[in-house]
Amino acid sequence: MNEDRPDQHPDQDWESEMSSEFDRRVRDLRESPLTFEHVRGRAVSIKRRRRTVVAASLVAAAAVITPVAVASSGGFGTDRSSGPPVATQTPTAVDTETPAPPEPEGPGFAYLQDGDLHRADGSVVALPGDYTSATDLGDRIVATAQADNGDTVVDVVEDGAVVESYSAFNPPIASVTGTYVVFMTLDGELQTVGDDGQKVIADGFDPELQFPMVATGDDCVTSCRVFLNQSQDDPIEVNQDGRESSPAPGVLSVTGATSEGDLVTVVTRVLDDDLTGCSALWDPAEQEAVIEETCDYKFLDVSPDGRYLLAGDPQGDGFGNRWVAVLDTDLTEVARLEIEDTSVPYVRFLDEDTILATAYDGAWTVLTQDVGGEPTTVLGPVPGEDLDPPFVLSD
């Protein structure tokens, strides 16, 4: 018997039995209904950010229950009740069913309404003035107002306050990438503003005869291309260093560009008999037409990746477009937006496969349409006058 062995201490016998019983209890804990697999199965339906909380709580509960049970009984299979009782802890229940607050849902584009900027993610920014348009650059917002003397005022807003202000000849246009704006000042400077700064890339222009129409590239610190139309000459291109070039000799105007400016849509001429506008897709680097002149469509824009063209009625001379179509590079229609008795005053590519448009039929709506899909009403309808839209989209 163990009592006759001189090398066996009673405490060692207790420790051996305690170790065996501890192993058995831990094994029973794994095989009980509250297993790791059981917890993981329930956690599938819980949002990812709650899984760490649940798993940590279960581990903490197991760590509390097992050692306390050993101490309170004075060992497994041995009566050691002479010691003081040890209080046990009950693990706190974790509410795993409380849903996370919903993320803001926005339209996917920014617009101005009732003096507030509604961002693409659905958040709303109150602006510090009575503005007619605004472009969201991130930390900065570029907002436009009309001065009492008729001048255009361009304000740069940060944290709800105006940090820069310019007198401009024209409202800013947003780059194809949406990362900066450009406008002509009253002094003939070609001013750009980005999220982290501003830069005059060229000066000496005549604001009454030369005006920016399309801007490409991410910013004008590293690389950008600004295309200006001229009332009495061919369009010109100005890069971030102020260098000028002729992107499409002999054309009347530039109407759109890809995100890098390697392709531009141009108006080549206007027919004298019925004022039909003819268009082409042009490669400025090669100085040649990628899609030859057509008078069946008026090219309004090209998708950021160059796969599609946005076109309208070549004889459109009223309020907006009666219809717009998305064409592939073979001039095959892949989408069309045409609503009876409705005008489309504003339309552009929202991304490579989606167009964004405003429509007016006595009420204003904002629509999106995917290539190959049907139009979806995102905002409106809101009754209003034809020259006073309630929703102002960034150019």
Output the pLDDT for position 68.
34
**Mapping DSSP to helix (H, G, I), strand (E, B) and coil, where does residue 58 land?**
helix
212: left (phi over 0), alpha (psi -120 to 50) or beta: beta
Output the pLDDT for position 301.
97
90 CB-side CA count, 13 A: 2
Distance, in Å, from the CA atom of 370 to the CA atom of 375, rounded to the nearest integer, reads 7
CB 153 within 8 A of CB 145: yes
Distance, in Å, from the CA atom of 117 to the CA atom of 122, rounded to the nearest integer, reads 10
Contacts for 328-331: CB closer than 8 Å, 24+ residues apart: 329/281, 329/290, 329/291, 331/291, 331/294, 331/296, 331/297
Beta strands in 84-222 (DSSP E): 111-113, 116-118, 124-126, 133-136, 140-146, 152-158, 161-168, 173-174, 180-184, 190-194, 197-202, 210-219
- The pair of three-digit structure tokens given for residue 147, joined into one six-digit string: 């001065």
Output the pLDDT for position 394.
83
Distance, in Å, from the CA atom of 380 to the CA atom of 360, rounded to the nearest integer, reads 10
Q: What pLDDT, in 10s, does the model give residues 274-301?
A: 789 999 999 999 999 999 999 999 999 9
Could you tell me which of 177, 103, 101, 99 has the C-alpha nearest to residue 138?
177
What amino acid occupies position 263?
L
C-alpha gyration radius of the chain: 35
Distance, in Å, from the CA atom of 344 to the CA atom of 316, rounded to the nearest integer, reads 11
Could you tell me which of 159, 161, 201 has the C-alpha nearest to residue 180?
201
What amino acid occupies position 29?
L
CB 169 within 8 A of CB 186: yes
Q: What pLDDT, in 10s, does the model give residues 6-22?
A: 444 444 454 445 444 44
Could you tell me which of 286, 292, 296, 366 has the C-alpha nearest to residue 325?
296
Distance, in Å, from the CA atom of 164 to the CA atom of 321, rounded to the nearest integer, reads 36
Output the pLDDT for position 267.
97
Distance, in Å, from the CA atom of 64 to the CA atom of 89, rounded to the nearest integer, reads 7
Burial 370-379 (b: 16+ CB within 10 A, else e): eeeeebeebb
Distance, in Å, from the CA atom of 201 to the CA atom of 355, rounded to the nearest integer, reads 30
Q: What is the dihedral of CA 266, 177, 181, 349, to 10 degrees?
A: 50
CB 138 within 8 A of CB 147: no
Q: Is 231 exposed, middle or buried (0-12, 13-18, 19+ CB in 10 A)?
A: exposed
* DSSP, res 185: B
Domain residue limits, the chain: 2-73, 105-246, 250-395
CATH of domain 250-395: 2.130.10.10
CB 14 within 8 A of CB 78: yes
**Mapping DSSP to helix (H, G, I), strand (E, B) and coil, where does residue 375 land?**
coil
Strand-strand pairing, 333-337 and 288-294: unpaired
Strand-strand pairing, 180-184 and 253-257: unpaired
Distance, in Å, from the CA atom of 96 to the CA atom of 104, rounded to the nearest integer, reads 23
Residues (pLDDT < 70) of the chain are 1-104, 317
The pTM score is: 0.73
Maximum Cα interatomic distance, the chain, rounded to a whole number of Å: 125
